[in-house]
Structure 1
C-alpha cells in the first residue's frame, strides 16, 4: 500500500465532505445496491434498513476519515468492517464484500459522486478538477489496503467503466427500492426531541417526492431506463435551477460550516484550531446501536474512545 496521503492542498479535500453531498444520499445508496453482489451483502447482513438514519450518520465519519484523517489506519479499519460479509446469492453465486470488483464499485460511487454533486449543486468544477479527482481517487482507494486491480488507469478508462456498469452490470433489487423509499422512516435522531411523529408523517411524503426527483436527475440515462423512471426537458430545467439555488445557499453559509464534522475537524487540525493529536471526531452517541451491537464492527462502530460531534444547529450543546 502506498504511503502517500491526500492532504489539504488536494482537490478531493476541496470537493469531498460538504453538506451539499447529503443531497446525494439516495443516489449513492441506490447506485451501490444496484451491484448484485453488494446488494446481496447488504440485504443479508446489514441492519441498515432497521436503523437507516443512524447507520448513515455513523458511517459518514470513518468513510470521510479515509480521506481526512491523514492516517492510513482509518482505511484499514473501514476495510475490516467488511471481513465477515459473505454468502450465497439467490442464483447460487458467491459474494464477499471484499471482492475487489464489489469494493471498488462502492468506492467509485463515493469519489465519482464528487463530480456528480459538483455538476448538479456546485461548486463549479473544471475538467482539470475532474481528472485530478480521478488521480486522487486511486490514492484514496489505496488507503484500504485491498487489491488495486479494478482501478482504471486513466480518467477516460474510468468513464468507460462507469458506462459499462450502468448499461451492463447494475440491476434493480429490493435493496435498491428500499433505499429509495423513505416514507416509513422515523424522524432522524437529531429531530426526535422536537419533531412530533404526526408532523413528520405529514411531511415525509413530500420529502420522499423531492428526494426521488433529485435522485432521478442524478442518475445516468441507462439507469433511469432500467428503473423505469422518466425525466423530461422540463425536469432538467427545474433541476438545474434547483442546483443553482443550492450552490447559492452554500456560498452564503460560513465556509467552516459547509463541511461535515469529520472534514471540518481535519481542516481545524491542519490550521491549529484543534490539536493534531486530539482523538478523532466520531458520530454523536445517539447514532450508535444499542447493547452488544455497539461493539460489532459490521455496523461501522468505532471501538476506540473518541470526541463526539456536536452539530451547529443544536442549540442545547456547544460545538467542539
Structure 2
C-alpha cells in the first residue's frame, strides 16, 4: 500500500473542519457509551495491552483519565490550525511506553502498526456511534468517514504505511485484526470489569451506599451494551454469547437513546473541546481563543503530573 507523506514541502497536514462528518459525530457525548468498547478493543492488541499493563495507572483513576483524555484526543479533530500541534503532543505521550511483555515480545506504543490500531478504533468508533445511536449511515457516508480518518491520522506525523488505501481494504484489515491478531488479556478484562468502579462525576452526590447497590446494574448494563457492538469474532474470543433477542433489544436501546438526544440542544451534545471548535468555526468565538483544557477535577495525582505519559495543562504542571 502506498500513501502520500504526512507532510508535503514542509507544510503541516490540513486539519478536519466543520464540513466533515467526523466533526458531527466524534465529539458527541453519546461517544461515552462506547468507552468500554474502545478501551477493550485497543487493549486487545498485544502491544497496546502490554503497554497498558506495564505503564498505565488508568485503573487507579478511571473516570478522571477518561474525561481528561477526551480533551487532547478531541483536539486533534477540533483544534483547527492548532490541531497538528495537539496531535504532536498526543504522539509525545507515547514516547516512553515500551518494553517486553510476559511472552518475551518487545513492544513500543509508537510502532506504526500499533499506533495506527488505536486510531483505527477511533475511526470505527465514529461508525459505531452513528450506526447505534444516531440513526445509521449510508454507504457513501461510511466511505466519507474512512477518507476523513486518513486525513485525521496524518495530523500525527506517523508513517502512513499501515493505513489501508481504500474502504474495502480497511474492512479486510479490520476483519484480519479481529480474527487473527487481537487477544484476550488482562488489560482487556480490567477495562471490562466495572465491579469496583467509583461513582461517575454526574453521580458525585449519590450516597456511597446507594452507589454500591446500583453499581452491579451499571456494570452488567454497560458490558452488555459493549458486547453488542463487538464484531462476532471478538465476542467469541472473549467468550460472550449474543442471542437474536439481545440484538433486538440492543437496537431498541440505541433507537431510544437517539430519540432522546433530539431534545438535547445541539451544542450541548458536544464535549467542551468539540463545542469550542464549533464555536470558533461558527464565528461565535475568535479563531485565536485559547483551547479549552481539562478542569482540575480530572487531573492525575500531583505526584504523577510530571510524567511524560500524562496530558496535564501547562498551568497545572509542577514547576520545580
TM-score normalized with structure 2 length: 0.92
Pick from 246, 258, 269: which aligns with 1:258?
269
Q: Which SS does the other structure have where 2:114 is aligned?
A: helix
Q: Which SS does the other structure have where 1:65 is aligned?
A: helix
Q: Would you say the 8 A contact 1:189–1:286 is kept in 2?
A: no
Give how far 1:190 is off: 4.9
C-alpha separation in 1, matches of 2:303 and 2:193: 29
C-alpha separation in 2, matches of 1:199 and 1:280: 37
**What's 1:61 paired with?**
71
> Deviation string for 1:173-201 (max 9, x for gaps)?
11111100112011124533x12111111
Equivalent residues in 2 for 1:180-259, closer than 5 Å: 180-192=192-204, 194-259=205-270
Q: Which SS does the other structure have where 1:218 is aligned?
A: coil
> Deviation string for 1:85-134 (max 9, x for gaps)?
00001111110000111100000000111101211111431111110111
Runs (4+) of structure 1 exceeding 4 A deviation are: none
Q: Would you say the 8 A contact 2:16–2:152 is kept in 1?
A: yes
Give how far 1:164 is off: 0.3
Number of aligned residues: 305
TM-score normalized with structure 1 length: 0.92
**What's 2:42 paired with?**
32
Q: Which SS does the other structure have where 2:107 is aligned?
A: strand
C-alpha separation in 1, matches of 2:19 and 2:179: 35
**What's 2:10 paired with?**
none
Q: Would you say the 8 A contact 1:81–1:299 is kept in 2?
A: yes
C-alpha separation in 2, matches of 1:98 and 1:88: 14
C-alpha separation in 2, matches of 1:162 and 1:270: 33
Q: Which runs of 5+ in 1 are unaligned?
A: 307-320
C-alpha separation in 1, matches of 2:131 and 2:45: 24
**What's 2:150 paired with?**
138
C-alpha separation in 1, matches of 2:135 and 2:294: 26
**What's 2:278 paired with?**
267
**What's 1:104 paired with?**
116
Q: Which SS does the other structure have where 1:277 is aligned?
A: coil
Q: Does 1:289 align with 2:289?
A: no
C-alpha separation in 1, matches of 2:219 and 2:32: 14
Q: Which SS does the other structure have where 2:123 is aligned?
A: helix
C-alpha separation in 1, matches of 2:199 and 2:113: 35
Pick from 70, 90, 93: which aligns with 1:78?
90
Q: Would you say the 8 A contact 1:46–1:299 is kept in 2?
A: no
Aligned-residue CA RMSD in angstroms? Answer: 1.4
